[in-house]
Structure 1
């Protein structure tokens, strides 16, 4: 039987880009389905105020809509709840034509060389941030799990469904990828990172960009603190059980 892949795309106010992203995903799905895979595409509209739902409708197998914005972690959780695949491929909604490149992330899982594959995106061609959020995330992941990552914030990743469900619920907000990497490394998942020529919308060095990165920095910090407290509780429980 062909391996079954569920592609899960969380989206919030992405009406201007999601149709192009899904069109290129479907082109790749048609090729992969003829060769070796069964694939379903799931979009979770996280309470969008624009026409994201209507734009996605013709291109997907399953479409979930939250009545209000609940955050990326909750959107991913809703997508996983609807997924039937043995392998899960998480993609952002704003990848446009480069979304088709993400299918390479499935290959290490199909070869049983990894449990999770994370995309390392090419350097930005324009003026983006100063790397503060990425640096915080990278250092925090290493200190809390021992895993040295080059792509701490990447939302483009494939993972075995059975191993993912062992990890429990997703973290909320912008820290979801950081928490997922920490949880995966702590649980012994085999992680690989691949160079994939994916591009997505980036924030610049304007007021909107600084505000966005400020929120992201705070969310990553809270995520790391929560994971540190969780590890501390595990240590305390282990110490008490040995008394």
Structure 2
């Protein structure tokens, strides 16, 4: 008989002592045989002590290194063949774990818990997340239901291939999702309802919203550069043609500005080609 793969549940946490006494017992009751690994990211409260008392294995950072850094630490220390990443603030329901694992068993390498629109507390968050999802779908050519969800199940061997790509901040979901798509590893989504956390969120809407936008563009360049550079190059070339047509009809001459626009379009196109070749190097040994 084939043994069941060991499951590791990785929980990045910072100052979550208030939430853990309610959250961890639910997790233990549902999966008593799973490895529950909490990464204490430089907490100022009793997060580590509370987690140990509840039966979780704890790995502590000496100072706050970021959510992505905690995820990478968890992936390196986890013993399981399958990793489930969840927030430790109580937003993610442990009862949704069987749903993502069942989907993973269908042959996917990553399954993401896509939050329903009602999970976002404000219209701003709903609008921002829809925008990010649409932009990321455009950059990758794949439909992305929830780009920034931290609730996901992955096959450990596949996920560890991309640890060097993951940033230390909150954008690890963005990077890991796009890296899986780029490498041809199948990704699926299941709908979940994320609850309200207790205490203050560590994400700042305006600051982190702008950062997520920049990250999407950066990862888009990493994922498929020509999807970004080709439209920009084409737009500048089109402006150059229009401006040249205008100056030719009105002044019967070719201006320096037209030359600058044409050269800029050519340079951006060439940068896109070079970026495409560099991007492919990140994935040449991925199997």
Q: TM-score range by the shorter chain?
A: 0.7 to 0.9
Q: 1:5 aligns with which of 4, 7, 32?
A: 7
Please list the CA deviations of residues 45-67 of structure 1 after superposition, one character each: whole Å capped at 9, or x if unmatched. 10111111111112244201111
Q: Which residue of 2 aligns with 1:187?
A: 183
Alignment of 1:93-132 (within 5 A): 93-95=88-90, 98-109=93-104, 111-124=105-118, 127-130=121-124, 131-132=126-127
Q: 2:216 aligns with which of 218, 224, 227?
A: 224
Count of aligned residue pairs for this structure pair: 226
**Which structure is higher in helix share?**
2
Q: Which residue of 2 aligns with 1:41?
A: 36
Structure 1: segments with no counterpart, 5+ residues: 34-38
C-alpha contact 1:22 1:59 (8 A) present in aligned 2: yes
TM-score, normalising length from structure 2?
0.71
- Structure-2 separation of matches of 1:202 and 1:226: 32
C-alpha contact 1:145 1:182 (8 A) present in aligned 2: yes
Larger C-alpha radius of gyration, 1 or 2?
2
Q: Which residue of 1 aligns with 2:245?
A: none
TM-score, normalising length from structure 1?
0.82
Q: 1:165 aligns with which of 154, 160, 164?
A: 160
Q: 1:71 deviation in Å?
A: 0.6
Please identify, of 112-121 and 45-54, the stretch whose mean Cα deviation from structure 2 is larger: 112-121
Please list the CA deviations of residues 8-28 of structure 1 after superposition, one character each: whole Å capped at 9, or x if unmatched. 000011111122111100000
Structure 2: segments with no counterpart, 5+ residues: 226-273, 281-287
Change (3 A) 1:137 1:97: closer
Alignment of 1:131-210 (within 5 A): 131-169=126-164, 170-201=166-197
Q: 1:168 deviation in Å?
A: 3.2
